[in-house]
Structure formats: C-alpha cells, structure tokens
C-alpha cells in the first residue's frame, strides 16, 4: 500500500521531523472507468508553526504515474497553490518522486510517495 510521506524541518535540531504516513485510498477500477490500479488521497495537515496545508496525491498503477498538488497560505480569497507536479515512480516500492519546498511561513517541507514501512513488534 502506498502512502503520502510528509516531513518538515526543525530549526532547533536542524533535522527532518516526519509526520505519520497518510495511506492512499484505492479507487475501484469500475468507478474510475479504467482497468488498472489507482489510488488517491486528499489530506489537511497542520504543522507546529500553525500553518495548515492541503495535500492531494493521485497514483496510476498502469505506468506508476504520480500527481501531487499542495495548497496552503490561506487568505481571504482562498488557498494558494504551493506546489503542483507529476512524475513517475521507478518502482512502487521506492520513495519517489520527492519534492522539497518552502512554505509561505518559511517552513521547509518535504513530500514523497512510497510504501508504508512495516511496524516493528
């Protein structure tokens, strides 16, 4: 199962802090009109600095394509697109594509799409 992985920079420790992975939800082939695996997620996340962003991810298994859209920096006129990109996973088991961007409030955010790691006993 694939998930959205989001991390943010901790200015005090100079390290990345990972948020819990957000699983992509499978889309039934009949509902999507396509005969291949598809999955997607749309999730609002709030960071320690109070900033809220919405992450949208779509995945198509036929060619391992991924589309990512991030909005945030809400104003009176609505959200602003912070990042919008597409790419291809080399294998479903890899953590790619990856992007790092600077939020409107100055937070470095890293996103990637990859499997959910197994839970240690």
The answer to whether the CB of 46 falls within 8 A of the CB of 52 is yes
State the DSSP code for 26: E
Indicate the pTM of the whole model.
Answer: 0.86
The answer to whether the CB of 114 falls within 8 A of the CB of 5 is yes
**Residue indicated by tokens 């991810």:** 57
Give the C-alpha distances (Å, rounded to integers) separating 116 from 21, 30, 35, 104, 110.
7, 26, 24, 29, 16
Bigger pLDDT: 71 or 37?
71
57-120-25 Cα angle (round to 5): 20
Instruction: Look over the chain and give the mean of its residue pLDDT values, rounded to a whole number.
Output: 87
Q: How far apart are CA 53 and CA 82, in angstroms?
A: 9
In this predicted structure, the answer to whether residue 37 has a pLDDT above a threshold of 90 is no
Domain ranges of the chain: 2-115
Q: Which two tokens stand for residue 47?
A: 């960071």
User: How confident is the model at residue 73, as a pLDDT?
Assistant: 75
Q: Which two tokens stand for residue 121?
A: 């006993």
User: How confident is the model at residue 40, as a pLDDT?
Assistant: 87
Q: How far apart are CA 55 and CA 57, in angstroms?
A: 7
């Amino acid at each position: 199962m694939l998930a959205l992985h989001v991390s943010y920079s901790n200015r005090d420790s100079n390290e990345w802090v990972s948020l819990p992975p957000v699983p992509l939800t499978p889309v039934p082939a009949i509902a999507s009109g396509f005969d291949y695996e598809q999955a997607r997620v749309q999730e609002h996340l709030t960071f320690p600095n109070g900033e809220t962003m919405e992450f949208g991810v779509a995945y198509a298994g036929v060619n391992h394509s991924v589309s990512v859209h991030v909005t945030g920096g809400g104003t009176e006129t609505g959200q602003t697109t912070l990042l919008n990109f597409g790419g291809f996973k080399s294998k479903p088991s890899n953590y790619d594509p990856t992007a790092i961007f600077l939020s409107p409030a100055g937070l470095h955010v890293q996103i990637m799409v990859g499997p959910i790691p197994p839970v240690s006993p």
